[in-house]
Amino acid sequence: METTTALDIRSILSDLGIKEQNHGTSTGSDHFGNGPSITSYTPVDGSAIASVSTTTKEDYEKVIATATSAYAHWRNIPAPKRGEIVRQYGEALREKKEALGALVSYEMGKSYQEGLGEVQEMIDICDFAVGLSRQLYGLTMHSERPGHRMYEQWHPLGIVGIISAFNFPVAVWNWNTAIAWIAGDVCVWKPSEKAPICGVACQNIWEDVAKANNLPEGISCLVNGDYTVGEMMTTDTRIPLISATGSIRMGKIVGQTVAGRLGKSLLELGGNNAVIITPEADLEMIIPALVFGAVGTAGQRCTSTRRLIVHDSMVDRVTETLVKAYGQLRIGDPLDESNHVGPLIDKDAVNAYLGALEQVTKEGGEIITDHGVLEGPGYESGCYVKPAIAKVENHYHIVQEETFAPILYVMSYSDLDDAIAKQNGVKQGLSSAIMTGSIREAEQFLSANGSDCGIANVNIGTSGAEIGGAFGGEKETGGGRESGSDAWKAYMRRQTNTINYGRDLPLAQGIKFDI
Q: Is 314 contained in some domain?
A: yes
The tens digit of pLDDT for each residue in 333-353 reads 999 999 999 999 999 999 999
Domains identified in the chain, total number:
2
Q: Do residues 295 and 187 both lie within one domain?
A: no
User: For residue 210, is pLDDT > 50?
Assistant: yes
User: For residue 3, is pLDDT > 80?
Assistant: no
Q: Do residues 240 and 298 both lie within one domain?
A: no
Q: Do residues 243 and 302 both lie within one domain?
A: no
pLDDT the model gives residue 495:
98
CB-side neighbour CA atoms (13 Å) of 503: 0
Q: What confidence tier does 504 reach under pLDDT thresholds 50, 70, 90?
A: very high
pLDDT the model gives residue 514:
83
Q: Do residues 436 and 485 both lie within one domain?
A: no
* Cα–Cα separations (whole angstroms), residue 42 to 56, 109, 125, 167: 25, 7, 27, 13
User: For residue 59, is pLDDT > 80?
Assistant: yes
At 251 the three-state DSSP class reads: helix
Q: Is 96 contained in some domain?
A: yes
The tens digit of pLDDT for each residue in 102-138 reads 999 999 999 999 999 999 999 999 999 999 999 999 9
Under 8 Å between Cβ of 97 and 116: yes
Q: Is 342 contained in some domain?
A: yes
Q: Is 377 contained in some domain?
A: yes
* DSSP letter string, 148-212: EEEEEEEEE-SEEEEE--SSSTTHHHHHHHHHHHHHT-EEEEE--TTSHHHHHHHHHHHHHHHHH
Q: Mean pLDDT across the stretch 435-459?
A: 98
Q: Do residues 253 and 113 both lie within one domain?
A: yes
The tens digit of pLDDT for each residue in 262-301 reads 999 999 999 999 999 999 999 989 999 999 999 999 999 9
Q: Do residues 138 and 259 both lie within one domain?
A: yes
Under 8 Å between Cβ of 130 and 87: yes
CA angle 353, 163, 45 (to 5 degrees): 45
Bridge partner list, 411: 309
Which is the catalytic residue, given 202, 302, 383, 453? 302
Q: Do residues 327 and 446 both lie within one domain?
A: yes
User: For residue 4, is pLDDT > 60?
Assistant: no
pLDDT the model gives residue 432:
98
User: For residue 515, is pLDDT > 90?
Assistant: no
Q: Do residues 237 and 120 both lie within one domain?
A: yes
From CA 208, how far away is CA 91, in angstroms rounded?
Answer: 12
Judge whether 268 counts as a catalytic residue: yes
Question: In this structure, what DSSP letter does residue 342 have?
Answer: -
Q: Do residues 214 and 309 both lie within one domain?
A: no
- What CATH number is associated with residue 281? 3.40.309.10
Q: Do residues 343 and 457 both lie within one domain?
A: yes
User: For residue 244, is pLDDT > 80?
Assistant: yes
Under 8 Å between Cβ of 174 and 126: yes
* Paired sense of beta strands 431-435 and 455-458, if any: parallel
From CA 188, how far away is CA 190, in angstroms rounded?
Answer: 7
User: For residue 1, is pLDDT > 90?
Assistant: no
Range of the domain at 134: 6-269+478-494
pLDDT the model gives residue 159:
98
Q: Is 503 contained in some domain?
A: no
User: For residue 6, is pLDDT > 90?
Assistant: no
Q: Is 403 contained in some domain?
A: yes
Q: Mean pLDDT across the stretch 363-382?
A: 97
Q: What confidence tier does 480 reach under pLDDT thresholds 50, 70, 90?
A: very high
Which is the catalytic residue, given 114, 121, 268, 476? 268
Q: Is 183 contained in some domain?
A: yes
* DSSP letter string, 452-486: -SSEEEESS-SS---TTSEE--EETT-S--EESTT
Percent of the chain with pLDDT over 70: 99
Q: Do residues 235 and 328 both lie within one domain?
A: no
Question: What mean pLDDT, rounded, does the chain reach?
Answer: 96
Measure the N-to-C terminal CA separation of the chain; round to a whole number of Å: 82
Count of CB atoms situated within 10 Å of the CB of 443: 11
Q: Do residues 294 and 211 both lie within one domain?
A: no
Q: Is 374 contained in some domain?
A: yes
The tens digit of pLDDT for each residue in 149-190 reads 999 999 999 999 999 999 999 999 999 999 999 999 999 999
Judge whether 302 counts as a catalytic residue: yes
- What CATH number is associated with residue 14? 3.40.605.10
The C-alpha torsion from 218 through 221 and 227 to 230, rounded to 10°, is 40
Report pTM. 0.96
